[in-house]
Structure 1
């Protein structure tokens, strides 16, 4: 008996599908359903978005996106990840309303909030995927450990704790925030 093999879809086909009402990502051409994030995850995402967006707007630096906005990280087969928060400078995405589609541009900064069920090998695989796609820095916030980790290509990870200060001068200018501010 022959087994039917589901055909792979592209990022464009994925983006044109109707909203299923629950989170999904496209991973190497296949749709993967994601569990809805818990309240703490949403709280930390909201706080990170607020802190970054406030600074970016005050200094007219670019766009800050939230709500699992899609980022194409691989082609042939395609992968579209839903970033918790993404920052695009105006050099990568000009001012004004953004198109209602996934684009070839990748953000300079991705913020991912680790959920309790996220395994570190899976988190690090996603970080590597983002960096390989051209993201400059990936910030992983871990509410349980109250820590922040910054990953960049060809750099050792920067590990920060509650009282440490996060800065990203090459991306966000004079942005400075104590790590605890993401979690309080």
Structure 2
């Protein structure tokens, strides 16, 4: 669980109980991350639609634990109040989760994360992978079962 993670400069994610070291972002990754969160703040947060952030830990599952740290996220106001662990990790899945593609974060890994984010939501969510090399977004599946079981 998150309390068992080492502290320090290294970031970790948990994928079904397996500890994953997250590489620090390089310059281009950071620039893209900044541009995306700037738009989510401008178009969403400043309009009162929710809150945007970067590199925040989301607990998506327990036993085995799954904790992801999307590069950028947005939580819509309809998802408030957000639930937090004692350590401050969010237990409310994001409405938008953005993962910037990189050498260590490729499409198959991002697709799995999108599946996991969607599994935690009762409504429709969006995951997006963003191409570091070519500066454009790659859309991911953005539908999940509604509370009544329909898609």
Task: Note whether the superposition's TM-score is higher than 0.5.
Answer: yes
Q: Per-residue CA shift, 1:62-111, capped at 9, x if unaligned?
A: 11111x2011122211110001111112221249xxx8512331111111
Distance 1:119 1:53 in 2: 26
Task: Give the corresponding residue for 1:150.
Answer: 139
Task: Measure, in 2, the Cα distance between the counterparts of 1:107 and 1:117.
Answer: 22
Match of 2:94 among 104, 107, 127: 107
Scaled by the length of structure 2, the TM-score of the pair is: 0.79
Native 8 Å contact 1:116 1:144 kept in 2? no
CA RMSD of aligned residues (A): 2.5
Contact 1:25–1:31, Cα closer than 8 Å, also in 2: yes
Mapped partners of 1:62, 1:100: distance in 2: 22
Q: Does the aligned pair in 2 maintain the 1:25–1:82 contact within 8 Å?
A: yes
Q: Which residue of 2 aligns with 1:141?
A: 130
* 1:31 aligned counterpart, secondary structure: strand
1:113–1:143 CA contact under 8 A, matched in 2: yes
Give the structure with the larger strand fraction. Answer: 1
2:24 is the counterpart of 1:36: yes
Shift of 1:34: 1.6
* Ranges in structure 1 where 5+ consecutive residues have no aligned partner: 1-9, 155-184
Cα shift at 1:150:
2.6
Structure 2 unpaired stretches of 5+: 145-151
Query: Residue 117 and residue 80 in structure 1: after superposition, are their counterparts in 2 closer, same or farther (change >3 A)?
Result: closer
Shift of 1:18: 5.6
Residues 107 and 129, structure 2, Cα contact 8 Å, conserved in 1: no
Indicate which of 25, 37, 42 corresponds to 1:54. Answer: 42
* CA gap 1:143/1:30 in 2 versus in 1, 3 angstroms: closer
Specify the alignment match of 2:13 in structure 1: 25
